[in-house]
């Protein structure tokens, strides 16, 4: 079987199963099996594929038909121009989160804290983009921290990052302050979980929902962030598209100023940002 034949068959299977963009997924999986860059796939499609590679490709397509994410099948995900290792222990980095990165990079931050770091995609990207910055990442999951540590090594920033296990600020020394605190916390309300894409059942539930109204993490983060920010320090959190007003109110109650709701490329509310008032740095 040639690469073209294998690809056509896989695309038809994925399309019949209702997979979004079946051609993209099939090409990524075939390139992975053939151990080549996706951009080179067209060059080898006319060539015969060894039976073992065809069998391996078929197995991945079968798993994708069950809605297992492509990133889990190949073990990596592209984010802000870099490749991150992902496993079922971490949230799959998403393009929407790049909105937070873009706005966070608008001002220099020497010390950065990432709460619920997961794969480390936010913190490690900020460190890679700002060579003089240092970072601290916390996560409740030891398995997630292992992934973040491996990504830090791969990106060459391991010597500038500290990783600690604990809920939100529990893994941060009480007297430690930062120029920037970022987080993409679980913001999906419990009553919204049933309507989510089936791919999300492969991701850690702890990173998706607070099993309540979707605002639990924001209450905890905004309440404690002021004591861990320098004067003029920023807090930036990713939010669900309908949470801008409620999360902004939590920022205001915690003493933040310059509170802004930032939109993603689709025009949806995606990030809330605020600056700590000078009198809070006491």
| CA triple 161-83-238, angle to 5 deg | 65
Local structure of residue 209 (DSSP, 8 states)? B
- Sign, Cα dihedral of 60, 63, 67, 70: negative
Q: Tens of pLDDT along 154-211?
A: 999 999 999 999 999 999 998 899 999 999 999 999 999 998 889 989 999 999 999 9
Q: pTM (2 decimals)?
A: 0.91
**Residue indicated by tokens 């799959």:** 92
Q: Which residues pair with 85 in a beta bridge?
A: 76
Tokens of 278: 């000078």
Mean pLDDT of 64-71: 95
The per-residue pLDDT for 226 is 96
Q: Tens of pLDDT along 118-159?
A: 999 999 999 999 999 999 999 999 999 999 999 999 999 999
Mean pLDDT of 104-130: 96
Mean pLDDT of 11-16: 97
Tell me the C-alpha to C-alpha distance, in Å, between residue 126 and each of 58, 98, 150, 181.
38, 11, 16, 11
CA dihedral 105→37→145→176, nearest 10 degrees, is -20
Instruction: Give the distance between the most distant pair of CA atoms in the chain.
Output: 70
Taking 60 as the threshold, does the pLDDT of residue 279 lie above it? no
Residues 6+ apart with CB under 8 A from 279: none
Residues of the chain with pLDDT > 70, as a percent, come to 98
Tokens of 199: 């791919």
What value does the CA radius of gyration of the chain take, rounded to a whole number of Å? 21
Give the sheet arrangement for strand 269-276, strand by strand: 161-165, 134-139, 111-115, 178-183, 229-238, 269-276, 256-263
Residue 280's pLDDT band (cuts 50, 70, 90)? very low
Residue 9's pLDDT band (cuts 50, 70, 90)? very high
């Amino acid at each position: 079987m040639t690469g073209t034949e294998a690809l056509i068959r896989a695309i038809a299977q994925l399309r019949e199963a209702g997979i979004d963009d079946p051609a993209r997924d099939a090409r990524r999986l075939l390139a992975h099996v053939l151990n080549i860059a996706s951009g080179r796939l067209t060059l080898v499609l006319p060539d015969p594929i060894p039976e073992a590679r065809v069998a391996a490709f078929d197995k991945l397509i079968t798993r994708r038909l069950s809605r297992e994410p492509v990133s889990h099948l190949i073990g990596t995900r592209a984010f802000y121009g870099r490749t991150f290792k992902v496993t079922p222990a971490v949230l799959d980095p998403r393009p929407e989160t790049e909105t937070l990165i873009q706005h966070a990079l608008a001002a220099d931050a020497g010390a950065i804290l990432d709460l619920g770091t997961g794969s480390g995609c936010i913190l490690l990207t900020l460190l890679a983009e700002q060579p003089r910055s240092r970072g601290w990442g916390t996560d409740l999951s030891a398995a997630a921290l292992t992934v973040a540590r491996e990504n830090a090594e791969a990106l060459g920033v391991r010597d500038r990052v500290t990783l600690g296990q604990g809920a939100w600020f529990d893994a941060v020394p009480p007297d430690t302050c930062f120029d920037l605190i970022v987080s993409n916390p679980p913001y999906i309300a419990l009553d919204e979980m049933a309507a989510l894409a089936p791919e999300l059942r492969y991701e850690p539930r702890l990173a998706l929902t607070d099993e309540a109204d979707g605002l639990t993490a924001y209450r905890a983060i905004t309440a404690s962030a002021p004591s861990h920010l320098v004067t003029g320090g920023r807090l930036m959190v990713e939010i669900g598209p309908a949470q801008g007003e409620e999360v902004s109110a939590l920022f205001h109650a915690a003493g933040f100023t310059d509170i802004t709701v930032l939109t993603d490329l689709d025009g949806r509310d995606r990030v809330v940002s605020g600056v700590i008032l000078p009198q809070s740095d006491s």
